[in-house]
């Protein structure tokens, strides 16, 4: 009997040694351990054996040995398959697409670097603000249209998504006092959406507080800035305007492609704003300005539709490869 069982194992090993695919292995398994397999048939003869217990033990050992040999062959075949599909290091490498900076990030970095050259430092702030930092400290009265629900995203009765980065200026003045020279780039939110407006966009606001600061300082900084940003001489003009947090206030226009174009708002920091943050308005004065990052990016890169910034179109983004 042992010779017979040994013969079965020898036959199984011989077939496994020549087996190269999993399909072939499944056929061998069926031939030996399947419903009509050679080893399975041996179990049917236990009832006729003289020593049923001993015969059953031997058949169980035979079956376990066969299963072990088949499992080892499966591992060998799978290893061969992995080896056959291994990477050929002699082949040319795959082209890897190089990422690019987003034009918004490029513009923020560019403007920030220019302003750092003028002595400004960059400050960041919360995007979720209270009415005090977003409105009240900036001399924006309760009846101002900007405080209406249809213009501002309110989270609850006390918190809102900031509508400008001027709130960073308030935090900085209350924390550091005067003198102070900062810019604050970041995301802002307003209830607005069309080809030239987005409910989320980016602003950069500047603030300079010190003794004896006047409008001439503001005018000189901004005229120098637009020249440095566009890297050519730019014709400018200042028009009177109104902002609750500055007095006097103005808008800066530039001559662009033969037409006057408004690009930012500015003015001397309102006396009430300085009082609200605890700065002595008799000793210190200052100016502030604010610009839209998207607008400056559109002018710089000749982008006609604001929505292009947020559509994740790779063909659009690839245009800025190599620009930092």
Query: What whole-number distance in Å separates Cα of residue 306 and Cα of residue 16?
Result: 67
pLDDT at 299 over 70: yes
CA atoms within 13 A on the CB side of 91: 6
3-state SS class at 211: coil
DSSP string for 133-185: HHTGGGT--TT-GGGSTTTS-BSSSSEEE-SSTHHHHHHHHHHH-SSEEEEEE
The pLDDT of residue 93 is: 75
Within its chain, how far is the Cα of 10 from the centroid?
A: 63
Per-residue pLDDT of 18-46, as tens digits, reads 888 888 989 988 888 888 888 888 887 77
Q: What is the pTM of this model?
A: 0.68
The pLDDT of residue 147 is: 66
Per-residue pLDDT of 214-246, as tens digits, reads 999 999 999 999 999 999 999 999 999 999 999
Query: What whole-number distance in Å separates Cα of residue 264 and Cα of residue 228?
Result: 15
Average pLDDT over residues 40-54: 79
The domain locations on the chain are 2-83, 103-320
Strand partners, 121: 182
Closest among 294, 288, 297 to 167, alpha carbons compared: 288
For 17-21, 172-176, 230-234, 266-270, which range has the lowest pLDDT when averaged over its residues? 17-21
Task: Find the angle CA(214)-CA(182)-CA(218) to the nearest 5 degrees.
Answer: 25
Closest among 47, 48, 30 to 39, alpha carbons compared: 30
3-state SS class at 209: strand
Per-residue pLDDT of 86-122, as tens digits, reads 666 777 877 777 778 899 999 999 999 999 999 999 9
Q: Which CATH number fits domain 103-320: 3.30.1490.20, 3.90.550.10, 3.30.930.10, 3.30.920.30?
A: 3.30.930.10
Q: Could you give the C-alpha distances from 263 to 6, 49, 293, in angstroms and in order?
A: 93, 102, 10
The pLDDT of residue 8 is: 84
Preceding amide of 277 cis, omega within 30: no
Confidence band (pLDDT; 50, 70, 90) for 148?
low
The pLDDT of residue 301 is: 93
DSSP conformational letter for 194: B
| DSSP element (H, E) containing 299 | helix 293-301
* Residues whose CB falls within 8 Å of the CB of residue 274, separated by 6 or more in sequence, listed in order: 173, 209, 280, 281, 284, 286
């Amino acid at each position: 009997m042992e010779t017979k069982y040994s013969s079965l194992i020898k036959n199984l090993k011989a077939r496994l040694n020549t087996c190269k695919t999993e399909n072939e292995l499944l056929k061998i398994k069926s031939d030996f351990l399947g419903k009509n397999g050679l080893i399975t048939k041996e179990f049917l003869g236990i009832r006729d054996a003289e020593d049923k217990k001993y015969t059953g033990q031997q058949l169980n050992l035979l079956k376990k040995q066969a299963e072990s040999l088949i499992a080892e062959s499966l591992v060998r075949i799978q290893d061969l398959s992995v080896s056959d599909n291994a990477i050929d290091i002699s082949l040319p490498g795959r082209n890897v697409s190089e990422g690019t900076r987003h034009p918004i990030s490029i513009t923020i970095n560019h403007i920030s670097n220019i302003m750092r050259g003028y002595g400004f430092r960059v400050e960041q702030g919360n995007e979720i603000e209270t009415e005090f930092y977003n409105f009240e400290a900036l001399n924006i009265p309760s009846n101002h249209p900007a405080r209406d629900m249809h213009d501002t995203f309110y989270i609850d009765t006390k918190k809102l998504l900031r509508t400008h980065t001027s709130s960073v200026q308030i935090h900085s003045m209350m924390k550091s006092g005067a003198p102070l020279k900062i810019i604050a780039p970041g995301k802002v939110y307003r209830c607005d959406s069309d080809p030239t407006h987005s409910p989320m966009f980016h602003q950069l606001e500047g603030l300079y507080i010190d003794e004896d600061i006047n409008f001439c300082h503001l005018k000189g900084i901004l005229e120098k800035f637009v020249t440095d940003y566009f890297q050519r001489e730019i014709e400018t003009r200042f028009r009177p305007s109104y902002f609750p947090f500055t007095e006097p206030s103005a808008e800066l226009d530039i001559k662009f492609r033969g037409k006057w174009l408004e690009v930012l708002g500015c003015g001397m920091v309102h006396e009430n704003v300085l009082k609200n943050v605890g700065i002595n308005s008799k000793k210190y004065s200052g100016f502030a300005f604010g610009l839209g990052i998207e607008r400056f990016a559109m002018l710089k890169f000749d982008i006609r539709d604001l929505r292009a910034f947020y559509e994740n179109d790779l063909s659009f983004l690839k245009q800025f490869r190599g620009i930092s």
